[in-house]
Amino acid sequence: MRASDTERDRVAERLREAVAEGRLETDEFEHRLDAALKARTHGELAPLVRDLPSPGSTMEPAGAASPVPAGRDGTWVERIGGPATSRRAFAFWGGFNRGGRWTVGREFTAFAMWGGGHLDLREARFEEREVLVRCFAVMGGIGVTVEPDVHLEVDGVGVMGGFGEYSPMSEEAEPVPGAPRVRIVGFALLGGVDVQRKWSKAGRRKLTGGS
């Protein structure tokens, strides 16, 4: 969700209170204040005050009042916002893999020619709540895996190849409030782009209440 001027000002005021109370060093305050004034979304604002109590309080974290909704287990708040660690992937007569804990840029481009690659977003962070992933496969293949409860849009073209989404019935789930929106676009020529919804091991344990 887009942040308003009022919300940016509210976060800036919390930061000023925190530095006045000695909770933040001057350089950290200046860094966070600059980020708050430049923030465009709630996901960028929430991490700036999550570790700070409300002004005059030592109990309630200021981030608890964040307007950013949580996902099924509260983890989506933690996973949205922050600088991207990768914005592109390229394979030519080879392959690439992005998986585990990485931060997806709000615009990400993947290209594979005479090779292949895999983008696993199930444990990733997201630079913004909405990300655009462009996939281009020429005589090669790209696989994309997301958790079933994200907002997913797939809109690609396959020419003598395939571009689409496949998910087993057992992996179907409704998108939850606060989950990121992932748009996957592009084309496949004599190759394929396969998008799949599939729970990670950690996600499945949380879903079933396992340890």
Q: Mean per-residue pLDDT for 148-168?
A: 89
pLDDT at 97: 94
86 in Cβ contact with 102 (< 8 Å) = yes
pLDDT at 59: 38
Q: Give the Å distances, CA to CA, from 139 to 47, 114, 135, 156, 177.
A: 42, 5, 13, 16, 38
Q: Per-residue confidence at 138, pLDDT binned at 50, 70, 90?
A: very high
Q: Which residue has the tokens 């708050």?
A: 36
- Distance separating alpha carbons of residues 200 and 120, to the nearest angstrom: 10
- Distance separating alpha carbons of residues 187 and 129, to the nearest angstrom: 24
pLDDT at 60: 40
Torsions phi, psi for 30 (to 5 deg): -65, -40
- Distance separating alpha carbons of residues 209 and 159, to the nearest angstrom: 43
- Distance separating alpha carbons of residues 123 and 106, to the nearest angstrom: 16
Domain ranges of the chain: 5-68, 83-208
137 in Cβ contact with 160 (< 8 Å) = no
pLDDT tens per residue across span 3-54: 788 888 888 888 888 877 778 888 888 888 888 888 888 778 888 888 777 5
Q: Provide the pairing of β-strand 116-120 with 141-146.
A: parallel
pLDDT at 22: 79
Question: Of the given ranges (40-44, 58-62, 77-81), which has the lowest mean pLDDT?
Answer: 58-62
What's the mean pLDDT when you consider all of the chain?
82
Q: Specify the 3-state DSSP secondary structure of 69.
A: coil
Q: Mean per-residue pLDDT for 50-76?
A: 49
Q: Per-residue confidence at 206, pLDDT binned at 50, 70, 90?
A: low
pLDDT at 122: 92
| CA 191 distance to own-chain centroid | 27
19 in Cβ contact with 26 (< 8 Å) = yes
Q: Per-residue confidence at 134, pLDDT binned at 50, 70, 90?
A: very high
pLDDT tens per residue across span 166-187: 866 556 667 777 789 999 999 9
Q: When comparing pLDDT for 69 and 94, which is higher?
A: 94
| DSSP H helix total and E strand total for the chain | 5, 11
- Distance separating alpha carbons of residues 39 and 18, to the nearest angstrom: 19
If residue 112 lies in a helix (H) or strand (E), which one and from where to where?
A: strand 103-113
132 CB contacts (<8 Å, ≥6 apart)? 106, 107, 108, 183, 185
